[in-house]
Amino acid sequence: MPVTASSKSYRVGRSKTGLGLFATMPIKKGTRIIRYFGPILDCRIPAQDDIENKYLFELNGRWTIDGSVRKNLARYINHSCRPNAESDVRPRERKVFIRAIKNIEPGDEINYDYGTDYFKAYLKPIGCKCASCENKRKKQRAEARAERAKVKARAERKAQKAGAKSANKGAKKQKLNGKHFNGKAGRAKA
C-alpha cells in the first residue's frame, strides 16, 4: 500500500503565477500527495469530446479526466521543469495521483511536469515561469551583461591606445602591435 499524505499536508496559496499548492508539513519522497480527479470523459461521445478547459488530464487515447471541478484541489498544482512531484497515471483504474519524487519541506510549492505536449502548446509560447526556467533566464541575462561589459572594456582599451598613439605623434613608429605587449612576446623571443 502506498503511503498517502493526509489532506492537511497541503494548502492552496499564492504562487508567482497565480495560485498554487503548498506543503504544510514534511512530505516524504514516494508519498501520494493528492488525487487528481473529476468526471471521466469519453472522446467517442461527441458532447464529452467537445469539452475544453485547461484542466483536462488525458489518461490515454480514449479517456480524459475533467479536473475543472472545484473539489479537485490538485488542479492548483503548477507545472515545473524541475518538479518535486510527478503524476502517477493509472489508465485502467482511470485514476491519477500526484506523488512526491523528492522530500518536500513545509512551505515548498508542489509541482509536477505537465509533459511535452502541454509545454509546447501552452508554456513555450509565453515562456515557462517555473523556478528552474526563471533561474536559467536570470543566468543568461547575467552572462549577456558580463559579455557586454567585456566588449565595452575592450572598446575603451582600444580608444585609450588610439589616444596614446596620437599623443605619440612624431615619435618613432612602433613596429610591435598590442599583442606583443602582454607578456607572451618574451617567451617567443627566448
Compute the distance between CA of residue 88 and CA of residue 98 in angstroms, rounded to an integer. 6
Taking the least distance from each CB to Zn ion, the nearer of 59 and 128 is 128
Q: Of 63, 121, 112, whose CA–CA distance to 88 is shortest?
A: 112
At 138 the three-state DSSP class reads: helix
How does 13-36 read in b/e, with b if 16+ C-beta sit within 10 Å? eebeeeebbbbeeebeeebbbbeb
Interface with Zn ion (CB under 5 A), residue from 81, 102, 118, 180:
81
Instruction: Candidates 13-21, 76-84, 96-104, 160-168: pick the segment binding Zn ion (CB under 5 A).
Output: 76-84
State the minimum distance, in angstroms, from the CB of residue 128 to Zn ion. 3
Compute the distance between CA of residue 126 and CA of residue 58 in angstroms, rounded to an integer. 22
Taking the least distance from each CB to Zn ion, the nearer of 34 and 130 is 130
State the minimum distance, in angstroms, from the CB of residue 61 to Zn ion. 27
State the minimum distance, in angstroms, from the CB of residue 132 to Zn ion. 5
Binding residues for Zn ion, rule CB under 5 A, total 4
At 5 the three-state DSSP class reads: coil
Binding to Zn ion, residues 2-41 (CB under 5 A)? none
Binding to Zn ion, residues 95-154 (CB under 5 A)? 128, 130, 133
Compute the distance between CA of residue 130 and CA of residue 79 in angstroms, rounded to an integer. 7
Does 43 bind Zn ion (CB under 5 A)? Our answer is no
State the minimum distance, in angstroms, from the CB of residue 138 to Zn ion. 13
Cα dihedral 28, 57, 83, 7 sign: negative
State the minimum distance, in angstroms, from the CB of residue 35 to Zn ion. 24
Interface contacts to Zn ion, rule CB under 5 A: 81, 128, 130, 133
